[in-house]
Structure 1
């Protein structure tokens, strides 16, 4: 019995390692190319470690195109989206989880249905509306479409549904308004869920190329994925070394953010759960 358990654990660990290598291999190859000199990038042999570190790739990445500007634009967009998403999602989730009113079940069902609708379906109507409003080629054009978040409402609702309603009743007895209850009691309790949601939101919108490519044409508003496109040249082709260096610089903030928040991220997913 112990031998079978040991073999099962070894098999599980082996599969996890293989899965991790499959996920990490493209990232490791990107890092390898970012530090390789040009002659080794197109070598016929596959070599993960470069013979020498080519810092010039990073210098070119930071000077040939405005990578710091793309990083700044990405930070403005993802943080703007996250702030407005939490500002609207938390009160909505609190109402669905802790308040009793007619149509609550229907509204929650519509929220779940909204999870099934991809953004690409609504992209054209949003684009036409923004064109009529004259806000294309602005930060608002990159932020506003993602403020309503069905996933955020669902995640926070599942978390807040597990909080005893007596806690909020006691706050009402103490004279707190519903708004004060949301931001002084409900939101601090939901910080693990907020961390998990923040990771999902920031990752999705930091890596988004579809909407920035449609909503903006100004290079000064380019987000990181769109900024990568400026390394492409129809005549000379891709300069792979600086391209991979720029990709590494753009990926690094997400990796660092996840490593710093991984404990609360897993806690938020675990406690957010599937409880109705």
Structure 2
């Protein structure tokens, strides 16, 4: 017992520092959740208190469900994020495998192009993409929301780093068994890549679930509005300055992300630790 207590005492300062940092990172979400169950007059009091004197959650959340199609916005978010993630994995896993394990002319040039793609902000592409979708009459569709993000340079880089750590003997054994390169990718490499796939899935879904920039450009109206855009419509058309109801809407729209991360937390940490991206 004494031997166990010594490492615990040594790690205690680090654990306390990490706990404090985690609490600071969570404070905006904690405040948002607390404000969602308060009446408006308590939110703007000079004294800060997380616990409401009068519980107003039923009224705030009731306004959200009564005034906006919450489940429709959530469904749009699932369709858009799921579609983007599907195509990103479909293209990034074979590309990452090729850059990590295959030899072909121009391999380093291709990897350099991937790294260059990481430097291009999405705002640069917004205008030509908007013009292209407008010419094809695809504005206000799932296609316009999904298509620009189907190829992710970050995903290719992430999987390339992960696949480089896989033993070459595994690949050689699969080739000796008569597997084609595509069969190796999907039947041998992919089952070993679930930690990296889960880590990237968290990054991708969080980024596109919370994205407001691109949906605001290509979506007009609530039929294809994503969760972030739905909160903005609620702010503009219904809630006004009712910040309690706005915080309730934000909690509802972000809750699926929190639940998904908690369920995939172990795989996420494992994937980051095995792809060479940890600090």
Q: TM-score range by the shorter chain?
A: over 0.9
Q: Which residue of 1 aligns with 2:43?
A: 41
Separation of aligned partners in 1, 2:241 and 2:78: 26
User: What's the secondary structure of 2:104's corresponding residue?
Assistant: coil
Measured against aligned partners, the alpha-carbon deviations of 1:57-102 in whole angstroms (never above 9, x if no partner) come to: 1111111111211111011100000001000100111111111000
TM (norm. structure 2) is: 0.91
Matches of 1:271 and 1:235 in 2, distance apart? 46
Report SS of the residue matched to 2:274. Answer: helix
How has the CA–CA distance of structure 1 residues 60 and 235 changed in structure 2, closer, same or farther, with 3 Å as cutoff?
closer
- 1:37 offset after TM fit, Å? 2.3
CA change 1:234–1:260 in 2 (3 A) is closer
The question of whether the paired residues in 2 share the 8 Å contact of 1:231 and 1:239 is answered with: no
Residue 205 of structure 1: CA displacement? Answer: 0.3
Partner SS for 2:36? helix
Conserved 8 A contact 2:100-2:164: yes
Which residue of the partner structure matches residue 87 of structure 2? 84
| Contiguous gaps of at least 5 residues in structure 1 | none
Select between 202-211 and 130-139 the one with higher mean Cα deviation. Answer: 130-139
Q: 1:154 aligns with which of 153, 157, 165?
A: 157
Provide the TM-score with structure 1 as the length reference: 0.92
Specify the SS of the correspondent of 1:232.
Answer: helix
Deviation of the 1:52 alpha carbon: 3.3
Gaps of at least 5 residues in structure 2 are 1-6
Q: Does 1:180 align with 2:187?
A: no
Q: 2 CA distance for matches of 1:123 and 1:230?
A: 21
Q: Which of 72, 95, 99 lines up with 1:96 in the alignment?
A: 99
Q: Counterpart of 1:123?
A: 126
Task: Name the stretch that deviates more: 208-217 or 7-16.
Answer: 7-16
Summarize the Cα distance change of 1:121–1:218 in structure 2 as closer, same or farther, 3 Å threshold.
same
| Cα gap change, 1:231 to 1:90, in 2 (>3 Å) | same
Q: Which range moves more in the overlay, 179-188 or 37-46?
A: 37-46
How far the C-alpha of 1:39 sits from its partner, in A, is: 3.3
Change over 3 Å in CA distance of 1:50–1:133 after alignment to 2: same
Of 24, 27, 35, the match for 1:25? 27
Residue equivalent to 2:3: none
User: What is the root-mean-square deviation of aligned Cα atoms in Å?
Assistant: 2.2
Mapped to 2, the partners of 1:236 and 1:35 lie a distance apart of: 15
Q: How many residues align?
A: 273
